[in-house]
Amino acid sequence: MGWNKVAIVGVGMLKFGEHFDKSYEAMIGEAYLAVLDGVQKGIDPKDIQAGWIGTCIGSLMGSELISGSMLSGIVGLAGIPVTRIENGCPTGSDTFRNACMGVASGLYDVAIALGVEKMREKTSDEGLLAIGSAGHPVLMRGGTAPAQFAPQATRHMHEFGTTKEQMAMVGVKNHYNGTLCPYSHYQYEITIEDVFKSPLVCWPFNILDCCPQTDGAAAVIICRADLADKYTDKPIFVAGLGMGTDYQFAAEKESFTEFIATKRAAQQAYKMAGIGPEDIDVAEVHDCFSITEILDYEDLGFCEKGEGGKFIERGDSKIGGKVAVNPSGGLMAKGHPLGCSGLAQITELVWQLREDVIPAQNEKRQVEIKRGYALQHNVGGTGVANSVVTILTK
């Protein structure tokens, strides 16, 4: 095992979906209670010495002004330091990364990372599909999220023969997985034909090639690795933390068939963990659009460059396949509330690695843990230029 400084001793999340009836405060409070409940041997809240909160859209849309003290105040921990992180789609995973550095720095023994996002409570002008139009006059004006990812799809189809059928299979797999996961926003299966018949958003993406807009909150409690036994018999260790960036402007990018930020994040995380992609049993990766997951297979090293389409087609990424990808349903079925997506992915992976939580939910969705490693991944932010990869182990 590589880095042996930080252990996860509790995870918890709300069922993803529409939470019009819940305020940010209520969602923070519920995620906090869920994570306390997720600490096997229990935890005195006074043990929590620092916090990090990830949230993205609320302040961007002017609907909420969130700073760190919102977390500590609501849950009755007013006093402890809390940093607010905002880093596009990897907001939740970068929140976790910074919390891990806080503990590894020696400043804090026990910390909480919590992500929250209300994606539904806004006008259609401000939806995820349109959010790209906010902001930078050159980079983003008129550039919606689907329009930022579509060129990757068309170029991948052109260079490697990837098909719309293969892309649709990502949604088919992830929606099936979502039906097994009680925390998933969407709970229905789809077929390739359903994807093709669904409304076109931006060629080659039909609406069922896109993740939905979802409200959610999730939280993780971490501690110094040597203190983990106090809280749980089954600690999960942080083995690798990687983050990569790329140039934001399309004209500056070196390639349209990969996300270099992902490759850089993965390289760092694998190196730190002292393992390679072949050691991963289960992964929660960024499938904001169907092509994204296909690129992820390649960028994360699960298959060779250009083979991503065949990887999904062969069933290599299903539960029971070579590496189970998005057993939770992924962004596409479980949902993608930006500030907490990464923390919800980590929650799923901790459950999978523990092997004692998921069977009680639905045993069909427990991935067989053979090699003992799990990988979490997000990519996004302005110009799809930020990526975070986390590697966890038993």
Least distance from a second copy to the Cβ atom of residue 15, Å: 25
Would you give the binding string for a second copy spanning residues 323-362, x where CB under 8 A is met? ----------------------------------------
Query: Is the CB of residue 68 less than 8 Å from the CB of residue 82?
Result: yes
Nearer to a second copy, 102 or 216 (CB): 102
Asked whether position 266 contacts a second copy by CB under 8 A, the answer is no
Q: Length of the chain in residues, anyone? A: 394
Asked whether position 385 contacts a second copy by CB under 8 A, the answer is yes
d(CA 75, CA 340): 17
- Give residue for tokens 């669904």: 198
Q: Which of 19, 175, 286, 336 is catalytic?
A: 336
Q: Is 188 exposed, middle or buried (0-12, 13-18, 19+ CB in 10 A)?
A: exposed
Nearer to a second copy, 65 or 360 (CB): 65
Asked whether position 383 contacts a second copy by CB under 8 A, the answer is yes
Is beta strand 386-393 parallel, antiparallel or unpaired with respect to 373-380?
A: antiparallel
d(CA 322, CA 267): 20
Asked whether position 265 contacts a second copy by CB under 8 A, the answer is yes
Least distance from a second copy to the Cβ atom of residue 179, Å: 33
H helices within the chain, ranges in order? 24-37, 57-60, 69-74, 91-104, 145-160, 164-180, 192-197, 260-273, 290-299, 308-313, 330-333, 338-354, 358-362
d(CA 179, CA 380): 26
Among 125, 229, 252, 368, binds a second copy (CB under 8 A): 252
Q: Which of 89, 210, 223, 303 is catalytic?
A: 89
Least distance from a second copy to the Cβ atom of residue 361, Å: 33
Query: Is the CB of residue 334 less than 8 Å from the CB of residue 344?
Result: yes
Least distance from a second copy to the Cβ atom of residue 16, Å: 23
Task: Give catalytic status of residue 288 as yes or no.
Answer: no
Q: Is 20 exposed, middle or buried (0-12, 13-18, 19+ CB in 10 A)?
A: exposed
Asked whether position 271 contacts a second copy by CB under 8 A, the answer is no
Question: In this structure, what token pair is assigned to residue 207?
Answer: 């609406």
Asked whether position 127 contacts a second copy by CB under 8 A, the answer is no
Asked whether position 251 contacts a second copy by CB under 8 A, the answer is no
Among 135, 161, 274, 276, binds a second copy (CB under 8 A): 135
Nearer to a second copy, 119 or 282 (CB): 119
Stretch that binds a second copy, among 162-170, 212-220, 238-246, 312-320 (CB under 8 A): 238-246
Stretch that binds a second copy, among 157-165, 199-207, 351-359, 385-393 (CB under 8 A): 385-393
List, in order, residues 6 or more apart from 76 with CB less than 8 Å away.
45
Would you give the binding string for a second copy spanning residues 57-96, x where CB under 8 A is met? --xxxxxxxxxxxx-xx---xxxxxxxxxxxx-----x--
Least distance from a second copy to the Cβ atom of residue 65, Å: 3
d(CA 111, CA 104): 11
Least distance from a second copy to the Cβ atom of residue 200, Å: 26
Radius of gyration from C-alpha coordinates of the chain: 19
Asked whether position 140 contacts a second copy by CB under 8 A, the answer is yes
Task: Give catalytic status of residue 223 as yes or no.
Answer: no
Among 40, 154, 248, 361, binds a second copy (CB under 8 A): 248
Q: Quickly count: other Cβ atoms within 10 Å of residue 234's Cβ.
A: 15
Least distance from a second copy to the Cβ atom of residue 154, Å: 23
Question: In this structure, what token pair is assigned to residue 1?
Answer: 């095992």
Closest CA to 87 of 380, 375, 389, 288: 380
Q: Which residues are catalytic?
A: 89, 336
Interface with a second copy (CB under 8 A): 5, 50, 59-70, 72-73, 77-88, 94, 97-98, 100-102, 104-107, 131, 134-136, 140, 241-249, 252, 260-261, 264-265, 268, 381-383, 385-386, 388
